[in-house]
Structure 1
Amino acid sequence: MLRLLPLILIFAVLPFTLVQAQLNSDPDRIETENGELVIHPILHGSVVFEWNGLNVYVDPWGDAALYEDKDSPDLILISHPHGDHLSPETLNSLNTENATFIVPQAVADEMPEQYSDQIMILDNGESLEQNGINIKAIAMYNLPNEGARHTKGWGNGYVITMGGKDIYISGDTEDIPEMRTLEGIDIAFVCMNLPYTMDIYQAASAVLDFEPAIMYPYHHRGQDIERFKEIVDWEGKNIEVRLKDWYPSQ
């Protein structure tokens, strides 16, 4: 808690932004060592990556219409079994015939039987390579851990490496040491929604520690992401905070 006090004091003296950012969910394009990486913000904690002819879906959730103009997934990463991350209804609306699922054991235990031959289980700290993409499972959990909604080892955050770019997906977590000690992250997606994960001050404090080059607040329903960006920008570090519309119908 003590490490949050400087950010809380900063918040108290910084002027509020009077004009809200105009958000959109348009794709972002980032050059890699092997072609263009296209990032599609979808909904809440759901994101789709296109790279090198492959399509990587993370925590697909929401109406089928959100995915109508997207190519079928080659890889599907699911962080944990909660319904806004593991959604059998959404999966059933996708063409997953040729997809490989990367999941923790807790997700595998709740996956519909029809996907059983397509699942690869990854525990915290483990990594694998699939279709030229390296995927490492990172811990995600609440503090204190005992009796928490998200306990250590139950779910995965991920570091995905595509074309030399390291992309961190936080899953549902607080500002845990495993996140704060990440190094060399090019692109980060960090959650911030109380009471399930953390507030914008905890998230900002953690992000300022591990310093991703590009930072997307996501999974942030009800939180002031404009204020989050102000706090990170005020520190003057080389972190580009990109605000997108993760709740387009609301």
Structure 2
Amino acid sequence: MPSTLVLDNVEITWLGHASFLIKGSKVIYIDPFVLPSSPEKADYILVTHDHYDHCDAEKIKQVRKDSTIIISSKAAAEKIQAQVVMKPGDVYKHGIEVEAVPAYNVDKFRSPDMPFHPKGAGLGFVVEIDGKRIYHAGDTDNITEMHELHRIDAALMPVGGTYTMTASEAGEAAAVIKPKFLIPMHYRSDKYGLQLDNDISPLAKALAGKGIVLKVLEPVA
């Protein structure tokens, strides 16, 4: 099973969990909690929120160089010295285009009235590089704001449940977003000490006949 989806000149590699490497004219990491053994340096690092399995300062040091631009939510920025702090609706344009979009829970709670991911605390990102639009959903449920997304070439969506969408919920969200490709993430995370639902068969069932290609990747690390 491959670890990379190639869209013309853009490569999307699943490193594991919610960590991705996007390579085209620039090198972009998103939530680099998982890295390969000899990672290349980043032009951009995007961090969706401040939880340890997405915002890892030591891993960021491994791929950061003097010119690296770090883009993150406000809470994450305080941990990783991000130069660009975003909130939903913000757009960054410099070499690539990054739009921050909402990511939050509506029915996943750590305690009554306390969601794992409160509204406003975390982000998803729509990244445009070399003519391709890639949506990294962050840690989220199927939320109404997803209806506003458009022209997505590849959607990277959590499917493991407990803290994020389940596989079937991700399928329902994808049916609205209508990406060309859907890459499941935030599952198969046992090796990182996270117990999530690894059965994505409901996702395949939900996408049947929708014209969306389910691209299941093998984690690099």
Confirm or deny a common fold (TM above 0.5). Answer: yes
Q: How much has 1:60 moved relative to structure 2?
A: 0.3
Structure 2 contact 72–86 (Cα < 8 Å) conserved: yes
Q: Deviations over 1:55-102 (max 9, x none)?
A: 00000013x5x151x431000000000111001221233343321100
Q: Deviations over 1:99-150 (max 9, x none)?
A: 1100111111222xxxx3x51111111101121x110000000004842110
Task: State which of 48, 67, 83 in structure 2 corresponds to 1:98.
Answer: 67
Distance across 2 between alignment mates of 1:195 and 1:38: 29
TM-score w.r.t. length of structure 1: 0.78
Is the counterpart of residue 142 in structure 1 residue 114 in structure 2?
Answer: no
Amino acid at match of 1:75: Y
Q: Which residue matches 2:83?
A: 119
Residue 106 of structure 2 aligns to a residue whose secondary structure is: coil
Structure 2 contact 168–202 (Cα < 8 Å) conserved: no
The CA RMSD over aligned residues, in Å, is 1.8
Q: Which residue matches 2:186?
A: 219
Structure 1 contact 134–161 (Cα < 8 Å) conserved: yes
5 Å matches for 1:62-73? 62=34, 66-68=36-38, 70-73=39-42
Structure 2: 5+ residue stretches without partners: 189-196
Q: Which residue matches 2:121?
A: 154
Distance across 2 between alignment mates of 1:193 and 1:78: 19
Distance across 1 between alignment mates of 2:5 and 2:182: 12
Classify 1:67/1:129 alpha carbon distance in 2 versus 1 (closer, same or farther; 3 Å).
Answer: farther
Is the counterpart of residue 43 in structure 1 residue 29 in structure 2?
Answer: no
Q: Which residue matches 1:238?
A: 211
Runs of 4+ in 1 over 4 A off after TM superposition: none
Corresponding pairs, count: 209
TM-score w.r.t. length of structure 2: 0.88
Classify 1:110/1:95 alpha carbon distance in 2 versus 1 (closer, same or farther; 3 Å).
Answer: closer
Structure 1 contact 49–55 (Cα < 8 Å) conserved: yes
Structure 2 contact 172–206 (Cα < 8 Å) conserved: no
Distance across 1 between alignment mates of 2:149 and 2:51: 25
Amino acid at match of 2:27: N
Considering only CA atoms, is the larger Rg found in Structure 1 or Structure 2? 1
Amino acid at match of 1:142: N
Q: Which residue matches 2:28?
A: 56
Is the counterpart of residue 108 in structure 1 residue 77 in structure 2?
Answer: yes
Distance across 1 between alignment mates of 2:93 and 2:98: 6
Q: Which has the higher helix share?
A: 1
Classify 1:224/1:180 alpha carbon distance in 2 versus 1 (closer, same or farther; 3 Å).
Answer: farther
Structure 1: 5+ residue stretches without partners: 1-22
Residue 136 of structure 1 aligns to a residue whose secondary structure is: strand
Is the counterpart of residue 88 in structure 1 residue 49 in structure 2?
Answer: no
Amino acid at match of 1:189: L
Amino acid at match of 1:56: I
Q: Percent identity?
A: 27
Structure 1 contact 80–107 (Cα < 8 Å) conserved: yes
